[in-house]
Amino acid sequence: MALRPETSSELLIDGKLVPGSRGTFEVVNPATEEVIGNAADAGPDDLDAAIGAARRAFDTTDWSRDHAFRAKCLRQLRDALLTHSAEFRALATEEIGCPSFLTGGPQFEGPVNDLGYFADLAENYEWTRPLGEAKPMGIPNVREVRYEAAGVVGAITPWNFPHQINFAKIGPALAAGCTVVLKPAPDTPWAAALVGKVVAEETDFPPGVLNVITSSDHALGEQLVVDPRVDIVSFTGSTDTGRKVMASASQNLTKVFLELGGKSAFIVLDDADLAGACSMAAFNVVTHAGQGCAITTRLVVPREKLDDAIAATRDAMAGLPADDPSKPGTICGPLISAKQRERVESYIQLAKDEGGKIEIGGGRPAGKDKGFFVEPTLISGLDNSARVAQEEIFGPVLVVIPHDGDDDAIRIANDSPYGLSGMVYGTDEERIKHVVDGVRTGTMGVNGGIWYAADVPFGGYKQSGIGREMGVAGFEEYLESKAVARPA
C-alpha cells in the first residue's frame, strides 16, 4: 500500500475511510511554501459521527476487557507502520519541516516502537489488586481494587512533534481499553490521517475504537471537549489554549490531561565544562527550530563566565544554521508556518526593544526566499524578568542569563510560570543533586542525560500542565479504579 496521498487523505470514522463533509484543505511544506497535497476537511457532523462511533465501540464491545486482543492490535499497528517507515519519515520532513535526522527518533520511529511498550502493559498490568481481609465496623470483608478503562478519549494534538504526541496519547489510551477520537492540528493532518489509513487497512482494530478527524476548523476542538459522550480530554498545546480546554471541560466535569508550555532552564555550574555545556545548549534550542515545549530556552551561566559563555554559544550556533530539513546534517529546519515565524520575529524585536543584545541571528537567513526560516538567535543583556525570558517563544531563540551561585541558579530556574523540563551541567555530584532537588520541573537532565523514553512519565509543574504522559503513570491516566468488597 502506498501511503502518499496523490490528492487528499481521508477521515477514519467507525472503521471506514471517508471524505470530509467540507471537502479538503491544503497541506503546505514549511520549507518551500509549496502545496504538497490536501487533507480531508471534517465538519461538525463528521466529528459527531466519530464520537458516536467511539462511544458505541466502548459501550457495546469487549474492547475494554480483552487485554490480549488490545495488545495484539497495538503490535499489529506498530509493525504495519514500521513497514512504511521510509514513507512516513519522508512525509515528516515534507509536512512538518522536521530535519531528517529526527525522523529516526522522536518524529516517527521512536514513538511507533513505543506502541510495543503499551502493548506489554495491557497484557501485564495488575488489573485487579487484592487488599486482603479487614473488619470495617467489625464485619469481616475481603476487598480488591479493579482498574478499568475510563471510556471515550478526545485527543487533541499539536503540530510540532505530531507522531510522538499522537502515539503518546493513542498508545496508552488504547492499551488501557479506551476508545479514541484523535483530532490533530490543521498544520500537520497527514501525520494522523495516514495512521488512520494503516489502522483501517492493515490491522484488526474494531470499528470505532480509533477515529481520526482532520479539519481546518479549530472550533471542532471545542466541540470535542464539551461533548458529554467524551470521558477524558487529552490535550497538548499552549498554556492559553489549555486554560480554555479546562474551562470548557468543566461543563461536564470531564477529566482533563494537559501537557502545556515550557520555558526551561539550562543551568551551567561554575565547575562545568563551559564550552561543552554551551554547545549542547545551542544544539538543543535550534533542534527542529526550537519547536518543542521541553526544549531548554534559558541558558543560566555563572556571572563571572558570562562573556565566555556568550562566545561559546555564539560559536556553536554559527555552525548550526537554519537550512533545508531534507539536507543531511541540518539540525534547524523551518518554522511550521508564516504565522509562527511572525510570532518568533515579534519576540526578537521585543528583546531589542527591552534593551537586549542580539549576539547572533535575529533575522531570516540569507538566500532563503521561500520557507518559514528564522536564524538561530542568541539574546543577552536581559534579566529573567524580561518577557523573552518568561514567555514561550517556540523558535530557535536562546536567552542567556547570569547567575550568582547554585542557589541563585535554582531561583532563576523556578522564577517562571512553567515547570516542564531542565538541564544542569557540572562535575560535583552533591551540587548537581542540590540543583536537581531544587528545580521544580517535571523532567531534568544531568550533563546531557536524555529522559525521553516510553517508560518515563512526562509532564510538568505549575502552568506546564496537569497529569503525566507516557510510562505507567501516563497509562493510568486512562483508567478508573473500582473498589469491590464481599463478606469474608
Give dist(CA 341, CA 89) in Å, integer: 24
SS3 content of the chain, % helix, strand, coil (to 5): 40, 25, 35
Handedness of CA 164, 165, 166, 172 (dihedral sign): positive
- Rounded Cα distance, 416 and 401, in Å: 13
The C-alpha atoms of residue 365 and residue 376 are separated, in whole angstroms, by 9
Q: Using alpha carbons only, give the angle 414, 415, 417 rounded to the nearest 5 degrees.
A: 90
| Residue of 29, 158, 38, 32 whose CA lies nearest to 94 | 29
The b/e string for 378-401 (b: 16+ C-beta within 10 A; e otherwise) is: bbbbbebebebbebbbbbbbbbbb
Residues in a beta bridge with 28: 35
CA-to-CA distance for 78 and 120, rounded, in angstroms? Answer: 13
Q: C-alpha dihedral over 80, 84, 90, 91, to 10 degrees?
A: -50
Rounded CA separation 171/115 (Å):
6
Region for residue 361 given its phi and psi (left: phi exceeds 0; alpha: psi -120 to 50; beta: otherwise): left
The set of residues, in sequence order, having a beta carbon less than 8 Å from that of 139 and lying 6+ positions away, is: 487
Catalytic residue among 259, 345, 392, 477: 259
DSSP string, 389-421: HHS---SSEEEEEEESSHHHHHHHHHSSSEES-
Q: Is 259 a catalytic residue?
A: yes
Cα(146)–Cα(231) distance, rounded to whole angstroms?
18
Total Cβ atoms within 10 A of residue 228: 10
Q: Which residues are catalytic?
A: 259
